[in-house]
Each structure stands twice: as structure tokens, then as C-alpha cells.
Amino acid sequence: MAAVATPDDAVPGPDALTARELYRFFRAGEEETLALRGVSLRVRRGETVAVIGPSGSGKSTLLACLAGLDEPAGGDVHVGGERISHRPEALRARIRARRVGILLQSGNLIAHLDVTANIRLARRAARSTGPADAGVLLDQVGIRGRARALPQELSGGELARAGLAVALANDPDVLLADEPTGELDGATEREILRLLRGRAESGCGVLIVTHSPEAVKIADRVIALRDGRIQR
Ligand code: ADP
Ligand code: MG
């Protein structure tokens, strides 16, 4: 049967990330919070997707499920064609280390390790075999000169760049960012967004949870969450 090619079908290879019908509940005593109620989405390679929504709409819960840091009660998540949900914790951690880059607003670096050691640690977690070419990564994010600095010695902008270098240490299929520019000045924010977008253009899928109009502006697509559901 001849199928009509849609732009979706035209993209070769597996999606960077696919989530199907994710459900996640939290129970505290008598009270149950329905944090995710059937969320499905995909991020293609080369694509930058922004996820927006009011506080409490489920954005961070979604990101944790996509990264395999949390398990959805229902539904499944694939990264780079490999299922990460409903796996033993250790296996999820291994898949995450190899395929997922995570960038948070803060806390991306281990405090007592310098920038290079942080990158090496991320590479070891993924059992990455190649040379630890931290210098190339640091060049890409523009802080080669800070290779031996401890996190506490970095400015806010440098910290964000170093966090991005760690997130990219294993050349992930998908980069997941939760409010990555929430604490940055305008110029630094634009630079980090430019780097994220550039990474997508070289074949990674990028998903950014954000409140920032700047981040929404650079996205190819925007997904709005409300009460644990995607709004159409
Ligand atoms: P957002 O990131 O959009 O602000 P969250 O994903 O953090 O939203 O939270 C979605 C809902 O789930 C909120 O009502 C929140 O209170 C609840 N929630 C999130 N994590 C937990 C948890 N560990 N225990 C109980 N409730 C939680
Ligand atoms: Mg949140």
C-alpha cells in the first residue's frame, strides 16, 4: 500500500526520544496527585522542543520520567530507539549515562571536582572508552581556559557552560534541560540557547522545560502542559 509521505515519515532513523501515554501519581496519605495523565510526545533528531506550563503542571515529573530518573506508573519511554522505562534501576542508569544528557538550573557539577574531572566522571559512568577529550568539549562551550577550575571558582555563565559540557560528555541521543537559563543574564542565556540549538542541529534531540520567552523563541515546537496533560 502506498502511503502518503508526511514530514514525520520523512525523518530517517529512530526518534531521539519517544514517550507514550505516561502516567505518574503521587500519594500522600488520603491525597493523590495526578502529576502526569497520559502524556505522549516525541523529539526527533535535529529538533528543539520547548515544554511550557504553569508551576505544578508536571514538567519536572515528565523530565524525570523521560530521563529514567523516575518510573512512570504507566506508559513507556524510548531513547535512541532503546526502552529506558520499566527496567531495573542499574540498567536505566546505564542507558541514561550513554544516551541522555541532563542539564538543570544548578547542581550539574560535583562540587569537589574540577571541570575536567566532572567531564571524565560522566564519561566513566557511561563506560565511554575513547580518550577523555574534555578540551574539545570545553572549546565547544567556550570555556577551555577553565578546565582546571572548581565549580565554586566559576561565574554563573561559566557554570552553565560547564554543566552543558558535562551533559554532552557522552554525545547523547537526547538532551533534557529543566529551566537551564532560569538564573542567567540575558546575554548568557542567549549564548546557552544558541549552544543547545547548535547541538540539536548536529543530530541530537533537545527538549527544554522553560518559562523563558527566549527559549520558546528558538524552539522548533512548543508543548504546553497543564494539570499533567498536553494542551492542544
Ligand atoms: P512543575 O515542574 O511543572 O512545576 P512538578 O512535576 O514538579 O511540576 O509537579 C507536578 C505535580 O506533582 C505537583 O502537584 C507536585 O506537587 C506533585 N509532585 C511532584 N513530585 C512529587 C513528589 N515527589 N511527591 C508528591 N507530589 C509530587
Ligand atoms: Mg519544575
The per-residue DSSP string of 186-228 comes to HHHHHHHHHHHHHHHHTT-EEEEE---HHHHHH-SEEEEEETT
Residue 132 in domain? yes
> Ligand 1 in contact with 45 (CB < 6 A)?
no
In a domain, 6, yes or no: no
Cα(214) to ligand 1 centroid in Å equals 25
Nearest residue (CA) to ligand 1, atom 10? 58
Q: Looking at residue 73, what is its pLDDT?
A: 97
Share of the chain above pLDDT 70, in %: 93
Higher pLDDT, 143 or 127: 143
Structural domain that includes position 175:
15-230
User: Nearest Cα to 75, choosing from 49, 32, 40?
Assistant: 40
**Is 90 exceeded by the pLDDT of residue 12?**
no
- The domain that holds 95 is classified in CATH as 3.40.50.300
Tell me, what's the pLDDT at 3?
Answer: 45
Q: What is the pLDDT of residues 28-79, one digit of tens each?
A: 889 999 999 999 999 999 999 999 999 999 999 999 999 999 999 999 999 9
Which residues, other chains included, contact 37 with Cβ-Cβ below 8 Å and sequence gap of 6+? 23, 227, 228, 229
Tell me which ligand sits closest to the C-alpha of residue 226: 1
- Quote the pLDDT of residue 130: 60
Closest atom of ligand 1 to CA, residue 225: 3
3 assigned to some structural domain: no
Q: How confident is the model at residue 129 (pLDDT cuts 50, 70, 90)?
A: low
Give the ligand 1 atom nearest the CA of 28. 25
Domain count, the chain: 1
Q: Which one of the ligands is nearest to 182 CA? A: 2
Rg (CA), the chain: 18
Q: Is residue 8 part of a domain?
A: no
Instruction: Give domain status of residue 86, yes or no.
Output: yes
pLDDT for residue 9 is more than 50: no
